[in-house]
Structure 1
Amino acid sequence: MQVGSVELPNRLFVAPMAGVTDRPFRQLCKQLGAGYAVSEMVTSRKDLWHSLKTSRRANHEGETAPIAVQIAGTDAAMMAEAAAYNIDRGAQVIDINMGCPAKKVCNKWAGSALMQDEPLALQIVEAVVAACLPHNVPVTLKMRTGWSQHNKNAVRIARAAEQAGVAMLTVHGRTREQGYTGQAEYDTIAAVKAAVGVPVVANGDINSPEKALAVLRHTGADAIMVGRAAQGRPWIFGDIAHYLATGEHRAPPLTQQVRQWLLAHLEDHYGLYGEFAGVRTARKHIGWAVRSLPGGETFRAHMNTLDSCAAQVQAVTDFFDALSLTHDRLPAGDLDAAEDDDAATAEHAACHAN
């Protein structure tokens, strides 16, 4: 699949989630089958670029291509400058955030709030495209179906964005008013696909291979984007790819294989964040990985008391070694219930992290 000058290996994408899709997590998802992963949103406020949080988000050392960075803001000139700043740091695709529903973001008229001001939204798109053009870096746009049920303007914005030079559009099948509640709908995504010639990506509630296929068929989208369902299950991209290719489910991963993936992820995670922050920010990733497994809840409670990288690594090793004695492959758990309990809260909180 092609996005401007950038070739993508497949049509299975990782959604940008602040506080989740950092470089180590993106790398893990790509390793396990995702063809494309978008960074956590980077602010367009220049005064924050040298903060620890933003500098980590702009760090792409060792990251496999394509490197896609999402930027957020409300001023066209600042957004153009943010695009150039991130291109200088390795970005090969710039994504404009017009989808985050968090009040902290929308109260500043960023994220999905921009969908209420179409002239400003278009001005930002035009400025970012102009800034990226000399570098041959494609610009993409992630948005929602609209601001509210009675104001679904995704098709109109999509057409204008395409005319302004956007190379790909991602649509989350909810309004800003919905946040992450209720069910995603896909008719609006299908309408956007029918209205434009650039690739369209479907996003929202894609949590299984069957759902991925159903959404692709219903919308006609060129690709799908998975967010919450990849938390703790980054191999879902490989599962989806196998199902789309064969119509069959592949076996769950080996328990020792999951252990190896998680330990490698933790090592990469600690390398980016250091001991103090790394231990604390790794807890959610470990928690997602074990939440539906036998003894997972007890382990989560214990793991949250540990305050060193070495202790976390040993605990994870011991947990999966013990599990492998009774389960050669990862046992199926109540993943839907786990997502209801954890992931909606996590993604909503993640959007607030900016």
Structure 2
Amino acid sequence: MTLAPPVLLAPMAGITDLPFRRLVASFGAGLVVSEMVASQEMVQAKPGVRERAALGLDGSATAVQLAGRDPAWMARAAAMVADQGARIIDINMGCPAKKVTGGLSGSALMRDPDRALRLIEAVVGAVRVPVTLKMRLGWDDDMRNATELARRAAAAGVRMITVHGRTRCQFYKGVADWAAIRAVKRAVDVPVIANGDIVDGATAGRALAQSGADGVMVGRGAQGRPWLLAQIAAALEGRPFPDAPKGAAFADMVCGHYESALAFYGRELGARVIRKHLGWYMAEAGTPNDMRRTVLTAHDPACVLAYLPEALGARGERVAA
């Protein structure tokens, strides 16, 4: 697989829905990945799964991430989303959440490499599109088996491997061990992507230097900064650093994201889903606490859209113009 630029958006539950992925892609990204979708729920059409798995068929650089522990359900879900137009199927073996690992999915599969391999083989055999894998360094410091699992996954047909530089038991504590990813890169011939603590061009450069990886994946750093991947790509390629939207341009972008969420989910659900994004945007803009509360507690979308330019520092700019 070839990714240009080699900067990817990480799958994040409740965050990387279709409106946010489209916004990130509009600035430029090598690949955007859907939030994790439970394979059995996808096949059984459980409520809420449509939104998580919505593919954005007009975007070629889109992957759908599936999670599960049963090879048959994973294969059925993979075939379903591939038939609907998914360009890439990503297998989740990295999620550390207890509700996921408690069901023997996500990073819990790293404790059972044989089951993990059966699952990978089932998905690869069910689709013709590329299958990728996201995992961690291992379950804990006594079970750092990412290199061996990566070797077996690549042999089974996985086309790219992303490694978060922490074990499952670290969750998001401490710092990502990018250097430990180098052993995975040496063990396989497919592209390897480094993930964890990458928040700007400098950290991306260090992650690549220490890991020897082919690209980076950005997660929490993109919250409130959908342009970040484009900035990181420019820094890595030595191109001029694109400025982040400011003032009226920033407010227009946020208002557009807000309206897209309402159109996608419906007014009531969309207003709830977008609220966390509005909080990150206002943190980025340095919005005063009283205005922040006003925006986040408003129920009428028209009021929110009226408040946002002032909250994001754009109203004075428009008046001056």
Same fold at TM > 0.5: yes
> Into which bin does the TM-score normalised by the smaller protein fall?
over 0.9
Q: What is the aligned partner in structure 1 of residue 116 from structure 2?
A: 121
Aligned to 1:67: 62
Cα pair distance change 1:93/1:279, threshold 3 Å: same
Q: Give the corresponding residue for 2:229.
A: 237
CA shift at 1:66, angstroms?
Answer: 2.4
Which range moves more in the overlay, 278-287 or 289-298? 289-298
| Contact map agreement 2:43 2:77 (CA 8 A) in 1 | no
1:37 correspondence with 2:32:
yes
Which whole-Å CA distance do the structure 2 matches of 1:29 and 1:223 have between them?
Answer: 17
Q: Mark the runs of 5 or more structure 1 residues left unpaired by the alignment.
A: 329-354
More deviation in 93-102 or 29-38? 29-38
Q: Contact 1:256–1:324 at 8 Å: present in 2 too? A: no
Measured at CA, do residues 205 and 189 of structure 1 come closer, stay the same or move farther in structure 2, by a change above 3 Å? same
Residue 201 of structure 2 aligns with which residue? Answer: 209
5 Å-filtered alignment, 1:1-354, equals 3=1, 8-46=3-41, 49-61=44-56, 63-132=58-127, 136-246=128-238, 249-322=241-314, 325=317
Q: Distance in 1 between matches of 2:25 and 2:42?
A: 32
Answer whether contact 2:55 2:64 (CA < 8 A) is retained.
Answer: no
Q: Is the 8 A contact 2:91 2:131 kept in 1?
A: yes
Identity of aligned residues (%): 44
CA change 1:296–1:189 in 2 (3 A) is farther
Q: Which amino acid aligns with 1:272?
A: F
Code of the aligned partner of 1:55: R
In 1, are the aligned partners of 2:251 and 2:314 still within 8 Å (CA)?
no
RMSD in angstroms over aligned alpha carbons? 1.9
Task: Structure 2: state its 5+ residue gaps.
Answer: none
Are the aligned partners of 2:43 and 2:80 in contact in 1 as well (CA < 8 Å)? no
TM-superposed CA distance for 1:294, in Å, is: 3.1
Matching residue's letter, 1:43: A
CA-to-partner distance for each residue in 1:244-301, whole Å, 9 max, x for gaps?
A: 2227655443322211221221121111111101111111001101114333433322
Report Cα offsets for 1:44-79 as digits up to 9, x if no partner. Answer: 114774233101122234541122100000001111
- Residues 27, 63 of structure 1: 8 Å contact kept: no
**In 2, Cα distance between the equivalents of 1:215 and 1:187?**
8
Q: How does the TM-score come out when normalised to structure 2? A: 0.94
TM-aligned CA deviation for residue 85 of structure 1 = 1.3
1:201 touches 1:221 (CA, 8 Å); kept in 2? yes
Deviation at 1:217, TM superposition (A): 1.4
